[in-house]
Structure formats: structure tokens, C-alpha cells
Amino acid sequence: MPRALCLLPHRPPGMARTQSPQVKTILLAATLFFLATGASAQPVDTKLGATVNASEAERRLAQARLKRRQGIAPLPGERARGSAAGVLNIRYWKRQEKLRLLVEQAQRRSNATAQRPQLAAAL
């Protein structure tokens, strides 16, 4: 919805309730102008938008992979008490699962956006 449609129903302070024919004509002309040009006033470059989305998806994928690589080492409190030094507890495995899902989600988004620039170029 163009902004003009939101602004026209409101009257500025001090404007009389009844308007002169000239004011009504100007308001009508402004409304028609904004309706006619509102949809094409800012053309959307779908190819550029798709490229930005794809590069953002790639960045997020790289960030998720880095997080997962850095998260391989157990944190304090993620080793089982009273057992062998190499035994990891459930906290470690839950954290690893979250990191795995984060990478998987980023990979899916990257795959989905990688196809969109090709579709936008075809338009």
C-alpha cells in the first residue's frame, strides 16, 4: 500500500472539515498519481536481491561451519565425572547436535538461494 493512501485520510491541524473544490481536486489528483506510480516507483531488481540473499546464505554457512569446528573441543563440565578422562557427558552431545543442526539449516538455505539467481536471470 503506498504511503499516500495512509496519509490522505488524516487532516492537518486547522484544516476545515469541508474542503473547497480545488483542495478536493488536488487531493484526488495526488491520490491517483500515487496509485498509478506507487507500484513502479521503486523497481525491485530481483537478480540483485537474489544475489544478496545467496551471498548472505554463504556467509551464514561459513560461520556455522566455523562454529562447529571451534565447538569440537569439550567445554568445562562436559566430561563425565568419576570415569575415564575421555568420556563425554550428555551436555557435550546435545551441544554437538545443535551445532550440526545449525550447519544443516545453513546448508539448506544456501542450496535454496543458490538456485534463485538462476531463476531471477531467466525472468
Going by pLDDT thresholds of 50, 70 and 90, the confidence category of residue 49 is low
Backbone φ, ψ for residue 39 (5° rounding): -75, -30
Per residue in 27-45, pLDDT (tens digit) is 777 777 777 766 454 455 6
CB 53 within 8 A of CB 119: no
- Report residue 53 as a C-alpha cell: 540473499
In whole angstroms, give the CA distance from residue 105 to residue 108: 5
In this prediction, residue 4 carries a pLDDT of 45
Q: In terms of pLDDT, which residue wins out, 3 or 49?
A: 49
In whole angstroms, give the CA distance from residue 29 to residue 27: 5
Average pLDDT over residues 108-117: 81
In this prediction, residue 41 carries a pLDDT of 46
In this prediction, residue 103 carries a pLDDT of 97
Looking at every residue in the chain, the average pLDDT score rounds to 76
Does pLDDT of 69 surpass 90?
Answer: yes
In whole angstroms, give the CA distance from residue 116 to residue 108: 13
CB 71 within 8 A of CB 102: no
CB-facing half-sphere around the CA of 88: CA atoms within 13 A:
13
Strand pairing partners for 79?
Answer: 88
Sorted by sequence, the CB contacts under 8 Å of residue 105 that are 6+ apart come out as 64
